[in-house]
Amino acid sequence: MTDAPGARGTARPAITHPHPATPGTPTVLTGATVVLPTETVTNGRVVVNGTRIAATAPENAQVIDAAGHYVIPGFVDLHNHGGGGASFTSGSVDDILKGIHTHRLHGTTTLVASTVTGDMDFLTRRAGLLSELAEQGEIAGVHFEGPFISPCRKGAHSEALLRDPHPADVRKLIDAARGRAKMVTLATELPGGLDSVRLLADHGVIAAIGHTDATYEQTVEAIDAGATVATHLFNAMPPLGHRSPGPITALLEDDRITVELINDGTHLHPAALQLAFHHAGADRVAFITDAMDAAGFGDGRYWLGPLEVEVADGVARLLEDGTIAGSTLTLDRAFKRAVTVDGLSVEDAVTALSATPARLLGLADTIGSLEPGKYADLLLLDSAYDLKGVMRRGEWVVPPQLG
C-alpha cells in the first residue's frame, strides 16, 4: 500500500486570541469553578509554575480573573486518526503535527495516534514514524486499529488487507513501535486472537475488542485472557439481543473493561450512551473522537487509508457504500454534548474525557486531573461549556478569551 493522496476539504477561519498571556510566566487562575478529582470548588484557583500545576504561587505570578468560567483538565483521546485536513494514517510528519495541533486547539492536550488497516510493511513503517513523535512527546503512543479485525464487521477498513491476529504478526507491529504501542484493536474470536491478547497483556499493551463478530461467550473468554478495552462500543459489533447478548453485554457487565464511546450524535443514540453510563459508570467510560482528517477542517473528500471518504454536513462515509468512516468530532464538542444533550454532570464528563483515559494509558500520575505536580494541561470553559482557553504543559495553545 502506498501513501494516500492529501485531503481535499475547506479550511476553517483561524482562531483569534484577543487576550494573549505572557508565555512562561507563573500564572494563577482565580475565581473559577475548578473541577478537582474529589470535588468541584467554586471561586477556586489553579496555580501554574513552569510546566506543572503548583500548590503555591510565586510573587511574580500573573493573575487571570476567570470568574464565570470552569477550569477542567485537558482532554485525553485514546483513538484518533487525524484532523485539520491531515492524516495520522498516511500523512507526513508535518501532516501529523498539523493534525495534533488542530485537536489541541479543541482541548485535546494528550492523544494516541491511530492507524487503519494496511499491509504489514506499511504499518510497520507507520509505527516507526509515529513512535518517533511519541518519543518527542507530541503523542502519547500508537494505536493499531486493524488489520486483525473481522471481515463481517470491518467498517471503514479494506477487506482485502484484513488478516487473522497471529501472534507473530501482532508482535511485529508492537516491536516496530519501539515500546510506544499503547493499544491494538482486534477481533479476538479469529484464529490466534486469544493468544494475541495474552501476548499484548504480557507486553503491557492494551488489547481492545473491536470490529468483532464474537459471541457473548467468546467475548468473556477474551476478557479473561486479558482484554481491557471495548473499541467504540456498539459500533462494528453485533447488536445486543435478548437470546444472543453478544459482545456488548459482556463488555458492559465486566468491571475489567473500559468502553470507548463516540459522542457525536451520529454513532450513538443518546439512549445507548445512557445505557453504557448506567452499567459502566464514568470510571469505565472513555469518550473518544475516532476522528479522521476532516475533524476541525470541513466537508469534502478525503482518504482513510486506501478508501475514499465523502464528508457531508460533518458526517464521514465511505464513497463506495456509505459506511460511516470515523468521525469529524473534536472532544470539546463531545464534552458539551455530554452535559447539554445527554444530561451528564460536568464531573462525570470530565472523568470520561480526562481521568479515565489517562488512567488507562498509565499516565494518571502526570495528566488527567488538576493536582499539584501534574502537568499544567487545563481548559477554560464559559458557562455555556464553550472552550475559551487551552493550556498544555504550562503554555497557552489557545490564550484565555475572557472578554
C-alpha 96/C-alpha 329 separation (Å) is 17
What contacts 175, CB < 8 A, 6 or more positions away? none
Cβ-contact 82, 264 below 8 angstroms: no
Give residue 161's identity as a one-letter amino acid code: L
Residue 290 known to be catalytic: yes
Residue 362 DSSP code: T
Residue 351 to residue 40: CA distance in whole angstroms: 12
Angle formed at CA 86 by CA 83 and CA 91, multiple of 5 degrees: 135
CB 157 within 8 A of CB 146: yes
Instruction: Find cell 516496530 and name the residue.
Output: 176
Close Cβ partners of 202 (under 8 Å, ≥ 6 residues apart): none
Tell whether omega for the bond before 147 is within 30 degrees of 0, i.e. cis. Answer: yes
The dihedral over CA atoms of 378, 383, 384, 388, expressed in degrees to the nearest 10, equals -40
Alpha carbon distance, N-terminus to C-terminus of the chain:
50
Quote the DSSP letter at residue 159: G
Report the alpha-carbon distance of residue 189 to residue 121 in Å, rounded.
24
Considering 290, 332, 342, 348, which one is annotated as catalytic? 290
Task: With beta carbons less than 8 A apart as the criterion, state whether 133 and 113 touch.
Answer: yes
Going by C-alpha positions, the residue among 75, 69, 83 that lies closest to residue 19 is 69
Burial readout 358-373 (b: 16 or more C-beta within 10 A, e: otherwise): bbbbebbeebbbbbee
CB atoms within 10 A of CB 199: 21
Closest listed residue to residue 236, CA positions, set 372, 310, 327: 327
Between β-strands 285-288 and 387-392, what pairing exists: parallel, antiparallel or unpaired?
unpaired
Q: Catalogue the active-site residues.
A: 290
